[in-house]
Amino acid sequence: MKNKTRGVLEVVDILGVIASGFATVHDLESLAEQVQMALSSLIEFEYGGIFIWDHDEERLRLLYAHGFSEEERVEAERTAWDRHPGAVFRTQSPLHVPDTAVDGRTQSSARSFHVRSRLFMPVVHEGVSLGVLGLASEQPNRFSEEHMAILGFTCRLTGALYSQLLARWEQQRVRVELGKLERLRKLNAELEIARDQALAATQAKSSFLASMSHELRTPLNAILGYAELADEELGLPDADTSADLRRIHGAASQLLQLINEVLDLAKVEAGQMTLHIEDVDLAELLSDVENVLRPLLDGNRNTLTITAPEHLETLRTDGAALRRVLINLLSNAIKFTEDGDVRLEVRAHGEGRERSLELRVEDTGIGMSEEELVRVFEAFVQANGSTSREYGGTGLGLTITQHLIDLMGGTIRATSTPGVGTTFIAMVPMFLDRGTPI
């Protein structure tokens, strides 16, 4: 009786030491050390290990192994889910095989040693499976009921500590994520301030340019008028003086066109460009466009072919905007084509009030590469620097054209082949109810 009592007290002392040791656990490495010390002080066994559930990889991971070679350790971890450890983890029930020679529940081992007895205990905390503790011996009937009780205590301690580690890691992860979110919130706030400042600056610039249209245009119109008057009515005999006046008129006209494009873009950015809906005769509009472009056609020795439906009903749209779109697209085609052909094909699509016009402008000019085509509608952009120097312009015509088409509820796209030509295809509604600001 005294020997039995002394044995119980020794076990209690050992369990107390184990509990004290587990209290120092702060990571998986120290947890593995404490499990190893606990098992070594309580039970004699040849082979053992503890599997824990890896929540990130969703598999059983061999945290501690005794008596395994490295190859056996890798194999035990790889096959754990399909063997005894996985079954005990899923059922949360112990598995004791006193003698594999007579117990049908045993499984063949892929390891080199011969097993006669096995014991697997689930590691559970608050009803949640967290791992499995497994022992094996070459001797039959090595593990008793007392061993199972002692291992149960060790498994409960292991489960509680692993659960605490998981909770601590989750808290750390949450703190890190909250820190990232806070930094992101501050960054977003700074970006919003910067965006608002940039928008305010753009709005101020656009509003200023839009309101200055009269002050900028008036002096140039005066220069144009006086140049025409001097050339036509004064009857200057000096040919050089007359040529100078024409150069002044040409330079002023070009400058006025550039200013008009910049001011139009400013109006778009400031939201001051609206549509003025009216009845529009398409045939009359096309004739007017052709007359406007005739000098540019003759200058580059191009031919213009216009194809449109006969007897097309009156459009309900912004005539000035549609005229501007056609002039921009055609003048762009003419400018980049010499001794070639420019074609405008107009088609009607759809039925009733939902009908739309397809405006297809094709040329046999210099064309564009895919890289140049991607940027063709960007403001102040031409195909490349040499194009800008050779052909001139601000690179705003197509940008304004796209804005006008968007304002009319249409679409525009382009295709091009270098050295072959370019095609622009615009789709615009035939009937608009009202003008809407951009």
Q: How far apart, in whole angstroms, are the C-alpha atoms of residue 116 and residue 118?
A: 7
Non-local CB neighbours of 259 within 8 Å, separated by 6+ positions: 216, 217, 220
Q: How far apart, in whole angstroms, are the C-alpha atoms of residue 223 and residue 91?
A: 96
Q: How far apart, in whole angstroms, are the C-alpha atoms of residue 276 and residue 144?
A: 97
| CB neighbour class for 351 (10 Å; exposed up to 12, middle 13-18, buried from 19) | exposed
**Is residue 234 classed as helix, strand or coil in its secondary structure?**
coil
Question: Cα separations (Å) of 54 from 63, 314, 406, 422?
Answer: 10, 74, 55, 61
Q: What is the 3-state secondary structure (H, E, C) of 187-198?
A: HHHHHHHHHHHH
Range with the poorest average pLDDT among 1-5, 141-145, 209-213, 239-243? 1-5
**Position 246 pLDDT exceeds 90:** no
Q: How many helices (H) and strands (E) does the chain have?
A: 12, 12
pLDDT of amino acid 281 = 93
What are 87's two structure tokens? 């079954």
Non-local CB neighbours of 374 within 8 Å, separated by 6+ positions: none
**Position 25 pLDDT exceeds 70:** no
Mean predicted confidence (pLDDT) in 29-53: 77
Mean predicted confidence (pLDDT) in 325-340: 93
pLDDT of amino acid 105 = 65
What would the pLDDT profile of 405-430 be if each residue is shown by its tens digit?
A: 999 999 999 999 999 999 999 999 99
Q: At 14, which amino acid appears? A: I
User: What percent of the chain is modeled with pLDDT above 70?
Assistant: 80
Q: Which of 240, 247, 330 is nearest to 285 (CA)?
A: 330
**Position 256 pLDDT exceeds 50:** yes
User: What percent of the chain is modeled with pLDDT above 90?
Assistant: 26
Q: At 190, which amino acid appears? A: E
Average pLDDT, the chain: 80
Q: Which of 142-146, 174-178, 299-303, 351-355 has the highest mean pLDDT?
A: 299-303
pLDDT of amino acid 7 = 46
Q: How far apart, in whole angstroms, are the C-alpha atoms of residue 411 and residue 245?
A: 42
pLDDT of amino acid 154 = 79
Non-local CB neighbours of 210 within 8 Å, separated by 6+ positions: 263, 266, 267, 270, 272
Residue 340 carries which DSSP code? S
Mean predicted confidence (pLDDT) in 265-275: 73
Q: Which of 256, 168, 184 is nearest to 214 (CA)?
A: 256
**Position 32 pLDDT exceeds 80:** no
Non-local CB neighbours of 59 within 8 Å, separated by 6+ positions: 53, 80, 81
CB atoms within 10 A of CB 41: 14
Mean predicted confidence (pLDDT) in 321-338: 92
**Position 6 pLDDT exceeds 50:** no
Range with the poorest average pLDDT among 162-176, 272-286, 311-325? 162-176
Q: Which of 369, 388, 436, 381 is nearest to 408 (CA)?
A: 436
What would the pLDDT profile of 144-177 be if each residue is shown by its tens digit?
A: 888 888 788 878 888 888 888 888 888 888 888 8
Mean predicted confidence (pLDDT) in 259-277: 75
Question: Between 250 and 5, whose confidence is greater?
Answer: 250
Output Rg (C-alpha) for the chain, integer angstroms. 43
Which run of H or of E encompasses 123? strand 117-125
